[in-house]
C-alpha cells in the first residue's frame, strides 16, 4: 500500500521539481525554501524553479490563490518540471486540485520526507515504521486514487466499482496498519528487555539528539571509534545505532537516533516513536547543534529539536548542549557562541577538538553512579564472584590470595548492599559514610 517511485537508474537524468510555498509577510523565500530544496536533492529530485505567495493562510481549495495558480501553471511548464513540491502538508482536496490544474504529480512536504525515509532506512523495524507512516498518510487520500472509477457508478460517490474498490482498499490498509502496530509493539518489548539489562548493570546511556545533518553520526564515530555512515545528506541516520566507549575505567553507551527537522510530520513522530523512545529512556541527552550555522538558523534548529523532544516526552531529561563543527567558526564567532550559550561545549567531531572535554563532562555527570570499593571474596563463594563479573563493573585490580580473591572495582551504588559482606573493613566504613552523606 506504500507508493514510491523507483530510484532512477544509474546515469539517468534526475527528476525536475518545481518548489512552491505560501509564506507569511516578512518571511524570506530563499531561507524558507532552502530546506525543501535540500530535501528534494536528498530524494533525488533537482529543483528547477520556485514560486512563493505571501498571504495569511493558503487557499482551502487550491493552496495558491487564483491568480497565483495561473502564474504557477505558466512557470511550471516553462521550467519543464516533472513534479510539484509543496512546502506544506496539503489537504487531499488541495492536492487533487493542483494535480488536475497542472496535469502532473504533486508531492507535499510530508510525502517528500516519507519518500526519503523509505529510501534510507535499512533495519526491519525502520521499514515497518516507514510503511506505517506512509499508510496513515495515504488513507485519507485514497479517494483520489479511485475517482475515475467512481464516475462509472449510478450514485454520487456511493455506488459502482469505484466505491467498492475504495472500501476494499481502505479495509486492507487498516488491517495492515493494525498488523504493523502489533509488530512494532513486539519489537518495543524486545528493546525494553535489552534496556532492562543496561539498567541492571547501571551502564549510563547517552542519546544524541539534534537537527538532521549536524554531525551526530560523526560524533558517535569519534566518541566510540566506530564507522557509522556519515554521508553529508539529510536523514542519513534513520535507524538507532548504539555503540560504547570507556572513560576513566567506566563504560558508557551512546545511541544515535533519527535527525529532527522543522515541522517533522506527525506521522513520523508517531511512526518512529519506537526509535525516538531511545532518546526518552536515556540517562543524558546530548543536544548536538551546528555551530557554523547563521544565528537565526541556529536558533530555529535548536527550537525545532526542543519541540520534538517535548512532543515525545523527553524535554525533562538531563541535557547538554554540544556545539559541533566549531572548526568552521572563527575566534569572534566562538566568543559570540560562548555568550549566547554559556556552558555549552564547543567541539569538532571531525577534527577531535573538544572531545576530551566532552568525555570529561559526561564522566562528571555520572560520577556518583559508581563507588570504588575493595572486596575479598572467599573461594567457596565463587557464585558471588560470578555475579560481580556479570554486573560488568570496571575491575581495576584482582589478586588471588590464600584467603580468597581480592578485587578493587567500581561497583554500582545500589549493589553495595548485596556485596557488603565482602567489603574489606576500610571500604565498608567508607561506603557507610558515603551513604550517610
pLDDT (tens digit per residue) in 161-210: 445 666 777 788 888 888 888 887 887 777 666 555 555 556 788 989 88
Please indicate, yes or no, if residue 192 is contained in any of the structural domains: no
- pLDDT of 298 reads 94
Number of domains in the chain: 4
Please indicate, yes or no, if residue 2 is contained in any of the structural domains: no
Cut 0.75: pTM above it = no
Do 110 and 240 belong together in one domain?
no
Q: Let me know: does 345 contact 306? Beta carbons within 8 Å.
A: no
- pLDDT of 189 reads 76
Do 27 and 97 belong together in one domain?
yes
Do 209 and 309 belong together in one domain?
yes
Determine the structural domain holding residue 75 and report its residue range: 15-119
> How deeply is 325 buried, as exposed, middle or buried, from its count of CB atoms within 10 A (0-12, 13-18, 19+)?
buried
| Helix/strand/coil for 397 | strand
Do 32 and 68 belong together in one domain?
yes
Please indicate, yes or no, if residue 165 is contained in any of the structural domains: yes
DSSP 8-state secondary structure symbol assigned to residue 86: E
Q: What is the CATH number of the domain that holds 387?
A: 3.30.70
Do 346 and 208 belong together in one domain?
yes
- pLDDT of 65 reads 94
Do 138 and 88 belong together in one domain?
no
Please indicate, yes or no, if residue 9 is contained in any of the structural domains: no
Query: Whole-angstrom Cα distance, residue 358 to residue 365?
Result: 11
Query: Whole-angstrom Cα distance, residue 401 to residue 419?
Result: 19
Q: Where on the phi/psi map is residue 208: left (φ > 0), alpha (ψ -120 to 50), or beta?
A: beta
- pLDDT of 351 reads 96
- Boundary of a domain, candidates 331, 365, 399: 365
Do 358 and 230 belong together in one domain?
yes
pLDDT (tens digit per residue) in 308-342: 888 777 788 899 999 999 999 999 999 999 999 99
Please indicate, yes or no, if residue 8 is contained in any of the structural domains: no
Residue ranges of the chain with per-residue pLDDT less than 70: 1-12, 143-166, 191-202, 228-240, 249, 265-278, 280, 392-394, 425-437
Do 387 and 309 belong together in one domain?
no
Q: Let me know: does 287 contact 308? Beta carbons within 8 Å.
A: no
- pLDDT of 198 reads 53
Do 240 and 303 belong together in one domain?
yes
Please indicate, yes or no, if residue 212 is contained in any of the structural domains: yes
Do 223 and 358 belong together in one domain?
yes
Query: Whole-angstrom Cα distance, residue 284 to residue 432?
Result: 28
Task: For 238, list phi and psi in degrees, rounded to 5.
Answer: -115, -30
Please indicate, yes or no, if residue 380 is contained in any of the structural domains: yes
Q: Let me know: does 344 contact 329? Beta carbons within 8 Å.
A: no
Q: What is the CATH number of the domain that holds 69?
A: 3.40.50.11060
Do 99 and 27 belong together in one domain?
yes
Return the number of other C-beta atoms located less than 10 Å from residue 227's C-beta. Answer: 10
Do 270 and 392 belong together in one domain?
no
Query: Whole-angstrom Cα distance, residue 252 to residue 257?
Result: 16
Q: Which residue has the cell 565482602?
A: 422
- pLDDT of 174 reads 85
- Boundary of a domain, candidates 119, 148, 172: 119
- Boundary of a domain, candidates 73, 99, 119: 119
Please indicate, yes or no, if residue 3 is contained in any of the structural domains: no
Amino acid at each position: 500500500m506504500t507508493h514510491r517511485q523507483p530510484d532512477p537508474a544509474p546515469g539517468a537524468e534526475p527528476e525536475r521539481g518545481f518548489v512552491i510555498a505560501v509564506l507569511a509577510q516578512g518571511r524570506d523565500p530563499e531561507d524558507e525554501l532552502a530546506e525543501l530544496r535540500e530535501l528534494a536533492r536528498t530524494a533525488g529530485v533537482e529543483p528547477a524553479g520556485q514560486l512563493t505567495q505571501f498571504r495569511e493562510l493558503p487557499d482551502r481549495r487550491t493552496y495558491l490563490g487564483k491568480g497565483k495558480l495561473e502564474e504557477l501553471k505558466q512557470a511550471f511548464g516553462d521550467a519543464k518540471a516533472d513534479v510539484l513540491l509543496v512546502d506544506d502538508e496539503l489537504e487531499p482536496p488541495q492536492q487533487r486540485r493542483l494535480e488536475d490544474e497542472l496535469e502532473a504529480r504533486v508531492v507535499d512536504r510530508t510525502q517528500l520526507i516519507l519518500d526519503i525515509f523509505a529510501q534510507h532506512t535499512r533495519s526491519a523495524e525502520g521499514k515497518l515504521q516507514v510503511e506505517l507512516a506512509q499508510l496513515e498518510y495515504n488513507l485519507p487520500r485514497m479517494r483520489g486514487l479511485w475517482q475515475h472509477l467512481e464516475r462509472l457508478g449510478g450514485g454520487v460517490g456511493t455506488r459502482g466499482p469505484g466505491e467498492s474498490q475504495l472500501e476494499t482498499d481502505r479495509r486492507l490498509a487498516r488491517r495492515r496498519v493494525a498488523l504493523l502496530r502489533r509488530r512494532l509493539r513486539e519489537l518495543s518489548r524486545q528493546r525494553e528487555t535489552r534496556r532492562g539489562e543496561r539498567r541492571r548493570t547501571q551502564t549510563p546511556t547517552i542519546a544524541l539528539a539534534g537537527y538532521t545533518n549536524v554531525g551526530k553520526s560523526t560524533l558517535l564515530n569519534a566518541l566510540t571509534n566506530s564507522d557509522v555512515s556519515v554521508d553529508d545528506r539529510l536523514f542519513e541516520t534513520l535507524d538507532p545505532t548504539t555503540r560504547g566507549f570507556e572513560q576513566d575505567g567506566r563504560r558508557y553507551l551512546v545511541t544515535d537516533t533519527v535527525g529532527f527537522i522543522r515541522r517533522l510530520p506527525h506521522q513520523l513522530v508517531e511512526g518512529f516513536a519506537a526509535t525516538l523512545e531511545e532518546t526518552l529512556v536515556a540517562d543524558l541527552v546530548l543536544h548536538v547543534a551546528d555551530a557554523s550555522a547563521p544565528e537565526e538558523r541556529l536558533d530555529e534548529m535548536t527550537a525545532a529539536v526542543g519541540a520534538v523532544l517535548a512532543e515525545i516526552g523527553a524535554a525533562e531529561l538531563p541535557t547538554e548542549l554540544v556545539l559541533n563543527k566549531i572548526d568552521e567558526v572563527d575566534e569572534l564567532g566562538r566568543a559570540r557562541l560562548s555568550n549566547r550559550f554559556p556552558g555549552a561545549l564547543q567541539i569538532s567531531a571531525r577534527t577531535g577538538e573538544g572531545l576530551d572535554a566532552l568525555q570529561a563532562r559526561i564522566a562528571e555527570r555520572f560520577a556518583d553512579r559508581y563507588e570504588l570499593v575493595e572486596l575479598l571474596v572467599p573461594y567457596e563463594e565463587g557464585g558471588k564472584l560470578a555475579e560481580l563479573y556479570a554486573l560488568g563493573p570496571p575491575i581495576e585490580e584482582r589478586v588471588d590470595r590464600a584467603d580468597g580473591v581480592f578485587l578493587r572495582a567500581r561497583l554500582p551504588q545500589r549493589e553495595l548492599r548485596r556485596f557488603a559482606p565482602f567489603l574489606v573493613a576500610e571500604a565498608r566504613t567508607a561506603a557507610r559514610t558515603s551513604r550517610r552523606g
